[in-house]
Amino acid sequence: MTGPGEAADPAELDRAHVWHPYASVPASVPAHLVSRARGVRLTLADGRELVDGMSSWWAAIHGYNHPRLNRALREQLQDMAHVMFGGLTHEPAVRLASTLAAMTGLPKVFLADSGSVAVEVAIKMASQFTGRSRLLTVRGGYHGDTFGAMAVCDPVNGMHHLFSGALPRHVFADRPPRDLDEGYLAHLDETVARNARDLAAIIVEPVVQGAGGMHFYHPAYLRRLRELADEHGLLLIADEIATGFGRTGELFGCDHAGIRPDIMCVGKALTGGYLSLAATLCTERVASGVGVLMHGPTYMGNPLAAAVAGASLELLRERPWREEVKRIEAGLTEGLAEAARAPGVKDVRVLGAIGVVEAREPVDVARVQDVVMEHGVWLRPFNRLIYTMPPYSVGDDLGRITEAMTAAARSLGPG
């Protein structure tokens, strides 16, 4: 093996040293070396060009190497890359907080490092506000990989069951159905009422459960949870990290139900896929009741991340994102219709700029990736899901994504 400073094949160095997310060492599925990302395309080191159907885990909603976002970073870099946020402040963070408050109707903004940290902050807010620490959520959810966030992920069917003995025990209602079911509304009523005196808050992903299975549910359940929180004196936390900034066809998932949470977490698309940044927002009432919030990330309010986030949200407000997402939804619905007829497919579902092919059995990730890459597309399937959340600027390349997903669906076993 080559020593420090010596030339070596990056792919070889990756295999030797890099531990990738949700992977063993050595990894069972190879990592593909990317040399460039522009527009909606990734160029691999071997010259292959792939349409990115994942928006880099749902973050790069404007595509890559966008001139407006590049300019925001360059200009901010001339002034400062970072300054501590304790006792100091700066214009990019202040303007970003003001923009987020106006977009959400939640006036108090705590800037965090990542989505998981935003959820941790939300849990701390709820606990400090109520003096209680237990939460209610629904099965099938996913809220992040840190310990507080893991505790409100599905403890049976989720990816964190290995840590169940080390996690706080919260209250779980059943997974919400896709269609309206009066029996499920009654189940929510009973579950909340039975546990209310021990609870600080209800936490859910609005309308779409992301990494827990790309499951969609009826907005009526979100409305009922808002009513139940008010009735029992609980806080409602909306985890909009995956659903925020237009992905579901509304600006936020809560908009489908016409409700406002007490606390909201946002991240992923916040910076347009440039830098890690998230935020936890809350009402005046919650902020006043919490007092001194015992949390303070070192890179909180990073000026570079705040500047590019501000530029990304400005770009989102200017572009016809709603029409773009509607076109993506229509294209996914039409383009994936054939995939639904493949024998190994259990379900095909589409909402906004989210398209999901659910297999009857767990998919062979390496095999599916080979199929879609042969069609010039990058996707990252997991468990039984082959799904896409493309950049809003995907345009005509959407057809290539649906063709690749359909080919992948045909490659599945009969189930």
Residues annotated catalytic, as ranges: 22, 142, 239, 268
Q: Residue 109 in contact with residue 310, Cβ under 8 Å?
A: no
- The C-alpha angle 106, 111, 112, rounded to 5 degrees, equals 125
Among left, alpha and beta (phi > 0; psi -120 to 50; other), residue 174 is beta
SS3 content of the chain, % helix, strand, coil (to 5): 40, 15, 40
d(CA 384, CA 290) in angstroms, rounded, equals: 41
For the beta carbon of residue 22, count every other beta carbon within 10 angstroms. Answer: 11
User: Residue 107: CB partners within 8 Å, gap ≥ 6?
Assistant: 101, 281, 283, 284, 287
- The C-alpha angle 124, 211, 199, rounded to 5 degrees, equals 30
Tell me which amino acid residue 321 is: W
d(CA 357, CA 149) in angstroms, rounded, equals: 27
Q: What value does the CA radius of gyration of the chain take, rounded to a whole number of Å?
A: 21
H/E segment holding residue 67? helix 67-79
Phi/psi of residue 242, nearest 5 degrees: -90, -30
Q: Residue 398 in contact with residue 381, Cβ under 8 Å?
A: no
H/E segment holding residue 68? helix 67-79
Please return the burial class of 74, using the count of CB atoms within 10 Å of its CB with bins 0-12, 13-18 and 19+: exposed
d(CA 405, CA 113) in angstroms, rounded, equals: 33
Strands 134-138 and 199-204: parallel
| Six token digits for residue 42 | 């990734």
Question: For the chain, what is the total number of helices (H) and then of strands (E)?
Answer: 13, 16
DSSP helix/strand/coil, 317: helix
State the number of CA atoms in the 13 A half-sphere of 386 facing the CB: 38
